[in-house]
Amino acid sequence: MSPETLLEPTLVDPTPNLNPNQPFDRDSFNSYVMNTYGRFPIAIAKGLGCLLWDTSGKQYLDFVAGIATCTLGHAHPALIEVVSQQIQKLHHVSNLYYIPEQGELAKWIVDHSCADKVFFCNSGAEANEAAIKLVRKYAHTVLDFLEQPVILTAHASFHGRTLATITATGQPKYQKDFEPLMPGFAYIPYNDIEAVENAIADLDEGNRRVAAIMLEPLQGEGGVRPGDIEYFQRLRQICDENNILLVFDEVQVGVGRTGKLWGYENLGVEPDIFTSAKGLAGGIPIGAMMCRKFCDVFEPGSHASTFGGNPFACASALTVLQTIERDHLLENVQQRGEQLRSRLRVIASQYPHLFVDVRGWGLINGMEINSESELVSSTIVNAALAEGLLIAPAGPKVLRFVPPLIVSETEVDEAMDKLEAAIAKVV
């Protein structure tokens, strides 16, 4: 089945149900909702496939996908069917009991990855928290470290918004005003193997020692920067030689986003632990931490999650994964990714003083703006918004393109036409 036919016949009316006599009240919204986001000035009312409509009825091509989350786009028939059926059957009971849907989802993930065991939670930050706790417990119980196991993470990384995960995040702007940060982390440059070796040597003394290296196969929030194959393959060797766990944060790059089911498949190595969230259930909140059997040291009481792995989220995630497999969406991601990067390079070549790089895997791609230019990514994002295209920044100098995995050839071309028009107006 081709991606273009996935929404035929549609189960929903593609036109938004909007009442022009009741416009969205932004002031009222801001009166009650905490000001934790710099929101763009539209309110989304409805979606279908790769299209969204705001409360005024304006249509947009969605190349944000809920920040790489709406794997199957909006109002996908398979997801509509499963959530409708599951909510009528059972949506939550807690992990005091066996949950069949959770077992089915875990089996699918294990059968289609290097993992042996799965822990379910609700978000990427929680999945990374679980990974951090697993590393520390492994270090204390198996490696018998003295007191302070250290996790190395990369500069420009992003691992979440909890206290532990912002400490793991190698970007001071996310840590500002939240001190004291969690102990047990040290930072290294991304894609720099000499820095890894030096950090291990420097920390391997006294009561501190490197227990794990936690990295994104491709840095998303850090500017859409893919990992170097040679770097990660040497990193795997170093971890094996030094009894160090290799942890991959696949919250943004997993579940088909890169054209492979898991991001690590692009690097020719397998991690000991990896995490997933965003695209796993196509927009239904879920997170997962996967590990190899040898480092599965959790036991009853070690870690828990009230909502984690409930029937509703797990049924949704299993449907997303089965749809990716059944409809051969990885092939579409690879083809549309090549098409997207090709068009982006053409656009960049028209403004050589403005753009310096186009990079990415599959359908996670970045377009870097010259650091010497006064133009920032948000300016182009707002211009694209006016043209009816939703894209997102990945830092002040990178545009990020992460459409649903079902995006069609026609939609990629249309998006690039809108981007060209937006850039022309800005320049």
* 252 has binding-site annotation: yes
* 192 has binding-site annotation: no
* 158 has binding-site annotation: yes
Task: Output the 3-class SS for the chain.
Answer: CCHHHCCCCCCCCCCCCCCCCCCCCHHHHHHHCCCCCCCCCCCEEEEEECEEEECCCCEEEECCHHHHCCCCCECCHHHHHHHHHHHHHCCCCCCCCCCHHHHHHHHHHHHCCCCCEEEEECCHHHHHHHHHHHHHHHHHHCCCCCCEEEEEEEECCCCCCCHHHHHHCECHHHHCCCCCCCCCEEEECCCCHHHHHHHHHHHCECCEEEEEEEECCEECCCCCEECCHHHHHHHHHHHHHCCCEEEEECCCCCCCCCCCCCHHHHCCCCCCEEEECHHHHECECCEEEEECHHHCCCCCCCCCCCCCCCHHHHHHHHHHHHHHHHCCHHHHHHHHHHHHHHHHHHHHHHCCCCEEEEEEECCEEEEEECCCCCCCHHHHHHHHHHHCEECEECCCCEEEECCCCCCCHHHHHHHHHHHHHHHHHHC
* 306 has binding-site annotation: yes
* 195 has binding-site annotation: no
* 249 has binding-site annotation: yes
* 251 has binding-site annotation: yes
* 305 has binding-site annotation: yes
> Would you list which residues are annotated within the binding site?
124-125, 158, 161, 249-252, 305-306
> Would you list which residues are annotated within the binding site for N(2)-acetyl-L-ornithine?
161, 305
> Would you list which residues are annotated within the binding site for pyridoxal 5'-phosphate?
124-125, 158, 249-252, 306
